[in-house]
Amino acid sequence: MATPKVTKPPTRANFVIDPSKITGILTHRRVRAGEEYLILHRTTGPASAEVASWHTVPELRRCLYLVQEYLDTLPPRSEDHRSLLGAQSRKRKSPHDELSANGTPNGFQSPFHTNGIGSPSPSPSSSSSSSSETGPRVFNGSLSKRAGFLLAQRSSRHGTPVNATRLPTPAMLEAALKTATPESERAIRDAFVEKLKSLRGVTLENDVDSSTPSLNFTFIKEYVLREGVSAQDPSMFEGCTKCKPDMGQNVGCEYTQKCGCLEYAAVDEQALQSRNPEMYEEYLRVKENQGFQRPDLPKRFPYTKPSIGDTVPQRLVTYYRDHRHAVYECNDNCACGPRCKSRLVQKGRRVPLIIFKTPDRGWAVKCGIALQQGQFIDTYLGEVITSEETDRREENAGQEKASYLYSLDKFVGDPVPGEGTVLTSDDCYVIDGQHWGNVTRFINHSCDPNCRQYTVSYDKNNILLYNLAFFAYTDIPAGTELTFDYMDKDEMEVEDAILYREQILSDPANQDRVRCNCGSVKCRGVMWV
């Protein structure tokens, strides 16, 4: 007779902590089982009686972004250990610092001494094999296993009673100072690499230290529209109707005066002057004041023609690269077909990118292949928010927030189609790429960049929502860091840039501004000027 198979109950290691159920990570240590973190659970009742418990890295796999944020607050272990005790007493007491300052007779001073502390009561969360080595594992309650999670319950009968506002203790901080975290760092790195698998041709390099880009970041493939932001259904985009797929050597649109998508595109002034001198004179008279747009004017296609087999990349033509005029692409409602030469950015990134760590400028991006001048790299993505929401987020964040906010203000002052008004800066949407975005979020600033951002639209009548696309401004060798100007200023000569920097740095109003670290000879000295 066969022996019946015994199914073992799942161990605690098979359960995880729900990040929405905790208020923070207090400290860390190493035991025989590996690295552990002391977390404070989100429960009802007085702060002094909050449940706290130690957990392994596998149990915190849903909370690795919180572990990472905790580790980022710690000073380097090479510093004097007293700096950690001093800093932590101010920065990381607990989420209830105002209560811990008052103290209570039940305040817990050390997890390794039982003076004034009851012995751990039996509970589903206690580990008898490790309690003698590490002291109590759960304070002020117990943990239960439910639906794959470890959940905390307050209890006066279970767990070790402690004043939670006194955690972490000096002894815990002393131990944390001496404890390296290679297991956590590997888990954090693996989690980020797993995120990158959703992207084609993006890898991670770090030859500088053991850090990893923030896990509190979601890679997306299109804009995420937030409250107050609307987008027109692509099926409603106006497309060109007079063009055909077999025109222009089977690459779609061939004649700019027939392509309806180029209605607002850059006028080819040289062609206009040679073909119709009278209209050219009229065009010159009115373009500076109120613009001059007619569908039948000769325009400019934005890109070079695609090569046979796409062996040579399409590039942004010189006029658009230098003049920064908005680029209008065809769309799915056009008659020109999917091979049209005016469809490039909408097809997405085609070059391999590498996120890498620099010694002095944080994370950066480089390309695994050489880029030609005018070659498309990628777009800037993120949450699209209103001007009001932007003000709220900036108020709640520090100066670094500005690095991720980009206003879609290319058409400020232009008439809003169908409304009889002009677009103001308050009407403009803003892209916030801090927590939602793509690889371009990691591109660093330079006052003398090798990339530039350009307005690219697939819907010519929408002046509120369009793409910000990065193109190589120069030929860029493989492995060279990609940079762009966060302020999107026009290119300056070296002498003018040096004079400008001297003026900026001598102005007392700029003394508290964030210093620029781009290292360029054209560096302006500070950011956001």
Residue 313 to residues 371, 376, 448, 478, 529, Cα–Cα distance (Å) = 9, 8, 24, 15, 35
Evaluated on CA atoms 51, 56, 62, 65, the torsion sign reads positive
Q: Match 């404070």 to its residue by tokens.
A: 40
Rounded Cα–Cα distance for residues 79 and 297 (Å): 68
Q: Which amino acids are annotated catalytic? A: 380, 486
Query: Which amino acid, residue 73?
Result: T
Dihedral angle over CA of 15, 16, 18, 23, nearest 10: 120
Token pair recorded at residue 496: 């003018």
Q: Which residues pair with 103 in a beta bridge?
A: none
Long-range own/partner contacts, residues 70-74 (CB < 8 A, 24 or more apart): 70/24, 70/25, 70/28, 70/37, 71/181, 71/184, 71/185, 74/176
Residue 387's H or E segment, with its range, is helix 387-396
Q: Are 357 and 209 in contact (CB under 8 A)?
A: yes
Q: Are 111 and 172 in contact (CB under 8 A)?
A: yes
Strands in 99-225 per DSSP E:
138-139, 141-146, 149-154, 202-205, 218-219, 224-225
Sequence length of the chain is: 529
Instruction: With H, G, I as helix, E, B as strand and everything else as coil, classify residue 308.
Output: helix
